[in-house]
Amino acid sequence: MSLRQRLAALLLCLRDPQKVASFQRLCGVEEPRRPAGAPEETGGSDPERAAIPEGGGSKLRACGARNGVRNGLPEATATATAGELESHKTLQNRVPGLRRNSLTGEEGEAYGVRNWPLFYLFSLGTELGNELFYITFFPFWIWNLDALVGRRLVIMWVLVMYLGQCAKDVIRWPRPASPPVVKLEVFYNSEYSMPSTHAMSGTAIPLTLVLLTYGRWQYPLMYGLVIATCWCSLVCLSRIYLGMHSILDIIAGFLYAIFILAVFYPYVELIDNFNQIYKYSPLIIISLHLALGIFSFTLDTWSTSRGDTAEILGSGAGIACGSHVAYHIGLTSEPPLDTLPLTIPSITVTHFGKVMLRILIGMVFLMLMRIVMKKITIPLACKVFGIKSDDVRKARQYMEVELTYRYITYGMVGFSITFLVPCLFFFIGLS
């Protein structure tokens, strides 16, 4: 067998859904009993799966680490009782679904869990690559720890996630087939699989943090590398555990993130300085991010990929523009170079209280901004582009509406993180 044939065989082995199913069983996931003749899911961006109506399959609702999936089962299966589908043991170990996909109405197939510590561990791991984590982690760094590190971390995150989403829609490989894989989470099931953007994010964020903070802050390098390794491993393994990616998807995502860091990290300081200092940088930032969202890729059918990309680009543009305004009005200041490396301050009751107040007040402000902008932009976009807004879920799947409301909404959230919320902190004495 030639080297090329061996490599092809290795890639096929790493992409085999049976490997994912074996890992799930090893970690204590109990496969549901599927009725004879239930169709096998091929994964990927299936238009029929993306168009599942809302409300069906409530008796099959099960726990995903984040949400559930119907998995393409027929209606007769969806309305069957849990006792007809599961053993008594699986029923005892089943937990209710945490959230369904509000855009597609998809819900999850029933499954059981025998190893609860691993279930909660991997649920935490996958959340390290979801919106809730991003919208709390980045502001926490910018408001409480180091605004410079926070800004530059966002720059690298936007690059990694954008290029990863584009690669998915160019390669167009489907998700691991179910069966044999048990889909514990399928909020992103309508997206393609290769590479894993969770793995990319879980690799890029901790490694970028180490690169940005070592030498600027005093701490042992080994601590940073150990934390980065654990972080990356947890996120990557969680995606296999949840049945969302093959081993090959994870490896490709990890290597792709490393490649992007190697190419772009040397320029992150230049990009950050340009965003803050150059007079016309907001116009360039907004135009560039908007153009990337519109012209970078097209979808053969609707998926969450396009909206997520618009969120990423909008957030990055908003944070960059907010930092530009904050810099020019003197709201931000950097420590003198002769004070570097910075020492980690001791935690006092006063310090801890201020941190908690910033997080509480800031997050409430961001959530209100997100809700208000969403309520305004969706009907406005529908009116501008002549799209019926009776069915909001369907209207949000039109490119004109989706890109407009996501870009503007998350652009304002990003702008709030680096400008509006710091202004609020300044006026109430929490700077």
Query: What does the pLDDT look like over 312-357, one tens digit per residue?
Result: 999 999 999 999 999 888 877 777 666 678 787 778 888 888 889 9
Asked if residues 166 and 172 have their Cβ atoms less than 8 Å apart, the reply is no
Question: Which has the closest alpha carbon to 185: 315, 69, 317?
Answer: 69
Q: What is the pLDDT of residue 299?
A: 53
Residue 113: per-residue pLDDT? 76
pLDDT for position 256:
94
> Residue 49's pLDDT is what?
40
Which ranges of 82-196 would DSSP assign to H, the alpha helix? 82-85, 88-93, 116-127, 131-140, 147-171
**Per annotation, catalytic residue among 198, 289, 328, 351:** 198
Catalytic residue among 245, 289, 324, 351: 245
How far apart CA 211 and CA 79 sit, in angstroms, is 52
Rounded to whole angstroms, how far apart are CA atoms 157 and 128? 13
Radius of gyration of the chain (CA): 23
**b/e 134-167 (16+ beta carbons within 10 angstroms → b):** bbeebbbbbbbebbbbbbbbbbbbbbbbbbbbeb
Task: Give the alpha-carbon dihedral of 324, 326, 332, 338, to 10 degrees.
Answer: 20
Question: Which residues, given as ranges, of the chain have pLDDT below 70?
Answer: 31-111, 186, 189, 296-304, 336-339, 389-392
DSSP state of 345: P
351 included as an active-site residue:
no
Residue 407: which of 296, 328, 292 has the closest Cα? 292
Q: Is 328 an active-site residue?
A: no
C-alpha 181/C-alpha 188 separation (Å) is: 15
